[in-house]
Amino acid sequence: MTKWVYTFGQGEAEGGSDLKNLLGGKGGNLAEMARLGLPVPPGFTITTEVCTYFYNNGKQFPVDLAEAVESALGFISGVTGRTYGDAQSPLLVSARSGARASMPGMMDTVLNLGLNDITVEALAENSGDARFAYDSYRRFIQMYANVVLGIEHHIFETILEYYKQNKGIALDTELTEGGWRAIVAEFKARFEKIQGRPFPQDPREQLWGAIGAVFESWMNPRAVAYRWLHDIPAAYGTAVTIQAMVFGNMGETSATGVAFTRNPSTGAKELYGEFLLNAQGEDVVAGLRTPQNITEAARIAGRSQDPSMESLLPDAYAELTSVMAHLEAHYRDMQDVEFTVERGKLWMLQSRSGKRTSKAALRIAVEMTNEGLIGKPEAIASIDPLSLEQLLHPALDPRAARQIVATGLPASPGAASGEIVFCASDAEQLKSAGRKVILVRIETSPEDILGMHAAEGILTTRGGMTSHAAVVARGMGKPCVSGAGTIRVNYAKETMTAAGVTFRKGDMLTIDGATGQVLKGAVEMHQPELSGEFTILMEWADAVRRMGVRANADTPRDARVARKFGAEGIGLCRTEHMFFEGERIVMVREMILAEDEAGRRAALAKLLPIQRADFTELFEIMAGLPVTIRLLDPPLHEFLPRSRDEIAAVAEAMSVSPEKLTQRAAELQEYNPMLGFRGCRLAIVFPEIAEMQARAIFEGAVAVKRKTGVAARVEIMTPLVIGKEEFDRIKAQVEKVALAVAAEATETIDYSFGTMIETPRACLRAGELAQTAEFFSFGTNDLTQTCLALSRDDAGSFLGEYVAKGILPANPFATIDQEGVGEFIEIAVARGRQSRPEIKIGICGEHAGDPASIAFFQDVGLSYVSCSPFRVPIARLAAAQAALAAKAAT
Ligand code: ADP
Ligand code: MG
Ligand code: MG
C-alpha cells in the first residue's frame, strides 16, 4: 500500500527535508523543524504522489486517502486536544500548497478550515474573545469562497469597505465583535446569492473542497507560467499540508510576520523582517496595513515611529532569534521564515532558503565560509554563475525616476542611453561625431554590424534571445533589448511609437538589458563596483577549476575589461572588428573592391601600420598572456559601402567612378554568404590579406618586446578550415612572413599556429589537422550552424517551436547541442589528441559563457573556454562548479 500521508508535530515527524520530492519544500521543512524540536503546530502532508494520481485519474483521489487523512486528523487531535468539527472544542486547520521547487505565492492556501455557525461560537467561548472568532470566520468565508469556488475577493472587500464607511471606521482593527458578526452575516448572504446555496457548514466538505482546490492550483495559469519560466516540470506536482491553526489575530499580544536570517539585499548578518500585531497569514505582504520592524536596530535605522517586535513582544522575539539561528546553522544557508505569535507564544510556520540579490549571495557565501558554517566548495556551489551578470554591467540607478514605454526581452545585459537612430549608417556617423546612440531596428542583419558596433545599445521590436541582434550584442558586450513588440517603428518617417509616445530620431532613449525595459530619456546609471567578497569567491573558484578561462576581445578596451575580470589570455581576437573603426573602413573597402592584386596590395599597405599598432597595444595590455588572433573571417561584402555617401567616399579614395564601384560591389554579393567566400577561403584566394595580417602581428610582437621587454605570446589561427591541405598552405604563408620579419628585425619570433574547428569535416579530419596544427579552437557558433544546417540568423521563426515541442532540449545556439555538435567535438578532441597528445584545445563560441555548456566542455577534456569579457567571471565560476561536480561524481 502506498503511504499517502506523513504526520509531523511535537518533536517528531514521519519525514523531513530529505523527503522534499514527496512532501514538497514546505511540508518537508515543517516536518524537519518539528523533528528539531522547534515550535511547529502539528499537522500532516498529503504527498505529491497524490497530486500525480489526482491528475492521472480524472481528478479523483486514491480510495484509501480518506482513511489516512482521518487518522492523521486524529494525530493532530492527540497533540492539541481539539477535534476537527467538534462543537465544544473544535480544531481548525489550514490547507497549504508546496512543491519541491519553491513557487512563492503561485498556488493557494486556505486558513481557518473547520469554522461554521456552531464552531465559531465554541472558538469564541474557548478563547474568551468573540471578536477574534468572528474575525477568523469572515476571513475564512472570503478565502474559501475565493480559493475553492473562484468568487472574487473584491466582492467581499467591497462589503467590508462599505460597512466601515457607514460606521466611520478607518482600520479593520477598530471593528468590534458586533461589527464582525454583521460582516459575517452579510458575507454569508452574499455567498448564498451568488452560489444559490448556503455557505458550506460541513467541516469535512470544507476540508476536501480545500484539498481539491490546492491540488487544482498546481495547474492555475500563474503556476503554469512560473514553472515555464523556471524550468520546473509539471510532473513534480504539489503536496498539500494540513496544519493546526495558530492565531496571530488573538489581540494585542498576538502577531504574524516574516523574517530572513540575513539581509537579502546586502547580505549583512542581521535579522531582517517585518510583522503585524493582531493579524493573520498574509496580512503582512498584502499591504493593507504598514508592517512594523522586528528589531529595534532596524526601526531606528528606518526612523519608524511604530514599536518593534523586540520591544513589544520581547520573549517571543528572543525565541525567534534563537530559532532562526538554529535553522540557519541546521540548513547551512540563509533562511526565510514565516511565524505567528499567539498570545505571546511563538510558532514557526515555514522555513526555506531565502532568495537574495547576487551581491548578497556573494557576501553570505564568503561570510558563512569564514564562520565555518559551510566549506569553500559549498560557497562556490551556492552562487548561480549567471546571477553575477547583475554585478558586472553598468546598471540603472534604482533611485532614478523611470518612465517605461515598453518592455522587451533582456537580450544582453547592461544599460545604455543615447540618441535614437534607425539605421546603421546614422549610428556610425553620429558615433564618429562623438555622440552616443541607441540603434533601433525592427530586426538587425549582418549588414547592420558596423552600426551595432557604433551604438551604445541596440533595441529591436522583433526577434528573441538568440536573434541576430541578441547574439551579436552579447558578443560585443553591449546592452540589447530584443523583441519589444509593442513598439512601432516607421523607418520612412524615422519615428517610433511606444506607449502612446512618439519618438523621433535624435530623441534620448534608455534601454535596460537586464530587465528588457525601454525608458524615455536618459536615466541615471552607476558603474559596477566589485566587492571584496566577489574577489575572494573568484579566487576560491580559480583554485578548484581545471579549465582555463580566456576572453574574446577585439579592442584594447575589451582586453582591459577582460583582464580586470580575470581572463588568462585572449582566446579570440576577431581582426575584422579592428577594421570597423573610424577612417579605416574606407581603406578596407578599397582593399575589397580592388580589381587586382596590385590594387589590393596598395590598400593593404595603408592598413598595415594601423593593424600593427592595434596588435602592439593589445600585446602590451596582455603582457605575456596568450593572445589568439584569428585571420580575417567574414564574407567581404559585410564591409561594403551601401549608402550613396559611402560609395562616393570610397570611389574618391580609389579614383574610380561611383558606378564602377557599385557594379563591383554587386559582383561580390552572395546567395548564401554564411557558406560562401569567407573564412580561410579568403586567405587561399587572396594570400596577400593573410600576409599583411601576419606581418602586422609579428611586427607588433617585435615592437612590444622592444618597448616593454615582455615577449607577447602569439597564437594565430585560421577560421573555417575543412582539412589539412587548406590549413598547411596558409600555415606556410604565415611562416614565410615570420621568417622575413625575424630577419628584418634580427629577432626570433615565437608563435604557434592553429586552427579553428567549425565544420563537421574539420572535426572528422582532426587527426590529420593536428599533425601540423599546434592548437584547436572550436568555433561552436559556426559548428552548430554547419552541423545542424541551421542558420542562426534565420532560425528565430521556428526554433522556439522546436524547443517548445521538445524536439530540441534547448536552443542550440545558447546551450551546446551535446548529442549532435557535442559528438563532433568529442571526435575532434579524440582524433586531435591521438596525433598530438599535448595539443591545447579551447572553445571560443558563445557557448563558452554558458554554464551548462561549460560543464560539458570540461567533461570532454577541453583546455580552456574563451567568452566575452563580461562573461569571464561567470565562466570562472561555472568552470569551478563543473570541476567540483566532476570530483563529487567520481
Ligand atoms: P505561501 O506559499 O503563499 O506563502 P502559505 O501556505 O505559507 O502560503 O500560507 C500563507 C500564510 O498563511 C502564511 O503567512 C502562513 O504563515 C499562514 N499560515 C499557514 N498555515 C497556518 C497555520 N496553520 N496557522 C497560522 N497561519 C498559517
Ligand atoms: Mg508561505
Ligand atoms: Mg566562425
Contact 518, 407 (CB under 8 A): yes
Q: What does the pLDDT look like over 411-449, one tens digit per residue?
A: 888 899 999 999 999 998 898 888 999 999 998 887 787
Are both 833 and 691 inside the same structural domain?
Answer: yes
How much is the pLDDT for 171? Answer: 85
Q: Among residues 193, 223, 244, which one ends one of the domains?
A: 244
Taking phi over 0 as left and psi of -120 to 50 as alpha, with beta for the rest, 424 belongs to alpha
Distance CA 162, CA 170 (A): 11
Is residue 204 packed enough to be buried (19+ CB in 10 Å), middle (13-18) or exposed (0-12)?
middle
Are both 92 and 120 inside the same structural domain?
Answer: yes
Q: Is 709 part of a structural domain of the chain?
A: yes
Are both 236 and 275 inside the same structural domain?
Answer: no
Which residue's alpha carbon is nearest to atom 9 within ligand 1?
Answer: 109
Are both 105 and 199 inside the same structural domain?
Answer: yes
How much is the pLDDT for 225? Answer: 77
Distance CA 647, CA 662 (A): 7
Are both 837 and 745 inside the same structural domain?
Answer: yes
Are both 706 and 809 inside the same structural domain?
Answer: yes
- Cβ–ligand 1 distance for 246 under 6 Å, the answer yes
Are both 460 and 579 inside the same structural domain?
Answer: no
Total domains in the chain come to 4
Q: Among residues 332, 356, 380, which one ends one of the domains?
A: 356
CATH classification of the domain holding 347: 3.30.470.20
How much is the pLDDT for 466? Answer: 65
CATH classification of the domain holding 682: 3.20.20.60
- Distances from the Cα of 862 to the Cαs of 227, 377, 820, 830, 879, in angstroms? 34, 22, 17, 11, 11
Q: Is 641 part of a structural domain of the chain?
A: no
Are both 718 and 800 inside the same structural domain?
Answer: yes
CA proximity to 499, closest of 525, 512, 513, 517: 517
Nearest ligand by distance to the CA of 110: 1
Taking 70 as the pLDDT cut, the residues of the chain under it are 229, 285-288, 466, 475, 581-582
Amino acid at 869: P
Q: Among residues 198, 221, 244, which one ends one of the domains?
A: 244
Cell 569553500 belongs to residue: 376
- Cβ–ligand 1 distance for 712 under 6 Å, the answer no
Contact 449, 457 (CB under 8 A): no
Are both 99 and 173 inside the same structural domain?
Answer: yes
The sheet with strand 488-490 has its strands ordered as: 488-490, 495-498, 501-504
How much is the pLDDT for 412? Answer: 84
Residue to mutate (ligand 1; options 96, 254, 284, 355; most atoms within 8 A of CB): 96
Q: How far apart are the first and last CA of the chain?
A: 37
Nearest ligand by distance to the CA of 241: 1
Which residue's alpha carbon is nearest to atom 15 within ligand 1?
Answer: 281
Cα–ligand 2 centroid distance for 281 (angstroms): 8
Find the domain containing 409 and state its range.
Answer: 394-526
Are both 240 and 264 inside the same structural domain?
Answer: no
Question: Which residues are known to be catalytic?
Answer: 468, 844
C-alpha cell of residue 596? 587586382
Residue to mutate (ligand 1; options 79, 84, 94, 211; most atoms within 8 A of CB): 94
How much is the pLDDT for 191? Answer: 97
Are both 770 and 798 inside the same structural domain?
Answer: yes
CATH classification of the domain holding 200: 3.30.1490.20
Which residue's alpha carbon is nearest to atom 22 within ligand 1?
Answer: 245
Distance CA 352, CA 454 (A): 47
Do the strands 751-757 and 713-718 form a parallel or antiparallel pair, or are they unpaired? parallel
Residue 13 pairs with which residues in a beta bridge?
8
| 703: helix, strand or coil | helix
Tell me the pTM: 0.83
Residue to mutate (ligand 1; options 82, 109, 135; most atoms within 8 A of CB): 109
Are both 235 and 270 inside the same structural domain?
Answer: no
- Cβ–ligand 1 distance for 254 under 6 Å, the answer no
Do the strands 12-13 and 5-9 form a parallel or antiparallel pair, or are they unpaired? antiparallel
Q: What angle do CA 370, 374, 380 make, to 5 degrees?
A: 90
Q: What percent of the chain has pLDDT over 70?
A: 99
What does the DSSP assignment read for 371-440? TTSS-HHHHHHTS-GGGGHHHHS-EE-TTS---EEEE-EEEE-SEEEEEEESSHHHHHHHHHTT--EEEE
Q: Is 537 part of a structural domain of the chain?
A: no
Contact 53, 218 (CB under 8 A): no
Q: Is 313 part of a structural domain of the chain?
A: yes
Which residue's alpha carbon is nearest to atom 24 within ligand 1?
Answer: 245
CA proximity to 533, closest of 851, 882, 266: 266
CA proximity to 385, closest of 880, 881, 878: 878
- Strand residue runs (E) in 283-374: 292-293, 335-342, 345-353
CA proximity to 191, closest of 96, 116, 111: 116
CATH classification of the domain holding 472: 3.50.30.10
Nearest ligand by distance to the CA of 782: 3
Q: Is 233 part of a structural domain of the chain?
A: yes
Taking phi over 0 as left and psi of -120 to 50 as alpha, with beta for the rest, 34 belongs to alpha
Residue 69 pairs with which residues in a beta bridge?
none
Q: Is 538 part of a structural domain of the chain?
A: no
Q: Is 156 part of a structural domain of the chain?
A: yes
Q: Is 655 part of a structural domain of the chain?
A: no
Distance CA 637, CA 658 (A): 16
How much is the pLDDT for 803? Answer: 85
